[in-house]
Structure 1
């Protein structure tokens, strides 16, 4: 395999025993995958043991076991530092690639000058496509102006092109040149969970590169397997990350009288979401 097309894959796991075998088997079968580093964030299930067994069978797999949950962004940076490949891919443990997924993505990347970050179309096990695969930047200010409804948040698929320029893609599968990842300093590890993918997309564009989605490449994404173990914590981290993103990218241009309203609205939304989780759990008993 030419080093120019070698892909190193980082998979961050947390209570991912239900999907990790399928995820890794598919990655190992995919063309151009030279190395896989699985960073386990202190799973209490059998995730790390399953990865260790696969690593004994295939030398391309390595498992790193953290003693505590270091968060998605920090674990991604930890895994990427151990790759040494020309390309780095970040793949969720509940995402299932095909044999030619990376072959198609690399073909697109080499044909598009300025390709900085590439994603794929995503669908669940029932074939329902995820609109978050193509989206605009997160904006609390726009949410406020549109009274909590952003009908323009998700971009539709452009049927005229196989490679579509977008503002942001989903972190379920991301591919980029390793050199660019290093240049940008990797993921912002101030995010523990969620929004770190949107942050990276924004910084890729700010550096002068394109964020792209391959409309002709589709990957199955089971979604939310790890999140089910700690739904309240996950909801809290979503909102905490949204505020961090706001402080980085929107705070400077936000009128001072609007800022506290955005903060109150964000956390009110968080507690409403948590209440819905609690009600749903009660109804399921």
Structure 2
């Protein structure tokens, strides 16, 4: 009898891949090295690199791993939602394919979930290879003023909370979508991710809906997770940037009170897409150097 037929695991780890590169193997290996009772659902958005298939072959005797293949790139949120329909854990850990999570970090996140009855979503501080925290680990709602301050690098009151990254548990408006732990009941109550986002800003949307639902969004400042910048983003920067800006526009229309003002909404729309166009020359130069 396989593990998937036995007692349901404590945790369902969900990883979405899309030509994520060799880091996906390291991510999967790190998760499966943990001693927590878990299952790993790796859902692949039509990768062409063959790595998800290679992982499935190498781990075919490990009943904790299930690889799900999509025949097209569904986007991040829709892929997570599809995997969640097959998950059996009491909590979901949504993990980027370039993150390395160890047992101590995982146990700390689970301990917080157990000890905070109103916790709806818990994030961690994601760091680069030098251990430098990503400012996007600790964020606020991207309302108009904050979003424009961040987009145009004006400093001040941007989306990311400035100053020292906390080293303890704090309440947040939003956390990085690279590492998100949620009780299954909360995810199901919210119907998971809004599938009208393709890539980017769906995590901000989910954090907002968690808070609107009466739960808390928490950042475990004492949990640090190594996070590389995604392989698919490096190979398709314009594609990723387009969907990031599209996500910004959707979040604005859903949640920002300024969207009710037609003139302001028009200015925001122009600002978002002007910023997208201005990024393209630099992205093309980077591609040419690869």
**Same fold, judged at TM 0.5 (above):** yes
Deviation at 1:64, TM superposition (A): 0.6
Structure-1 separation of matches of 2:61 and 2:184:
27
8 Å CA contact retained: 1:10, 1:39: yes
8 Å CA contact retained: 1:7, 1:89: yes
8 Å CA contact retained: 2:16, 2:76: yes
Structure-2 separation of matches of 1:31 and 1:157:
32
- Unaligned ranges ≥5, structure 2: none
Structure-2 separation of matches of 1:157 and 1:80:
35
Distance 1:102 1:280, change over 3 A: closer
Farther-moved stretch of structure 1 (56-65 vs 46-55): 46-55
Aligned to 1:266: 272
Deviation at 1:245, TM superposition (A): 0.8
User: TM-score scaled by structure 2?
Assistant: 0.90
8 Å CA contact retained: 1:204, 1:210: yes
Aligned to 1:93: 97
Deviation at 1:104, TM superposition (A): 0.6
Distance 1:66 1:228, change over 3 A: same
Farther-moved stretch of structure 1 (202-211 vs 137-146): 137-146
Deviation at 1:4, TM superposition (A): 9.5
> Which residues in structure 2 correspond to 1:75-94 (within 5 Å)?
75-94=79-98
3-state SS of paired residue (1:232): helix
RMSD between superposed Cα atoms in Å? 2.2
8 Å CA contact retained: 2:253, 2:259: no
Equivalent of 1:230 in 236, 239, 242: 236
Residue 21 in structure 1 maps to residue 19 in structure 2: no
Deviation at 1:109, TM superposition (A): 1.7
Residue 212 in structure 1 maps to residue 242 in structure 2: no
3-state SS of paired residue (2:59): helix
8 Å CA contact retained: 2:99, 2:228: yes
User: TM-score scaled by structure 1?
Assistant: 0.92
8 Å CA contact retained: 2:259, 2:265: no
**Pairs aligned (count):** 282
Equivalent of 2:246 in 222, 240, 245: 240
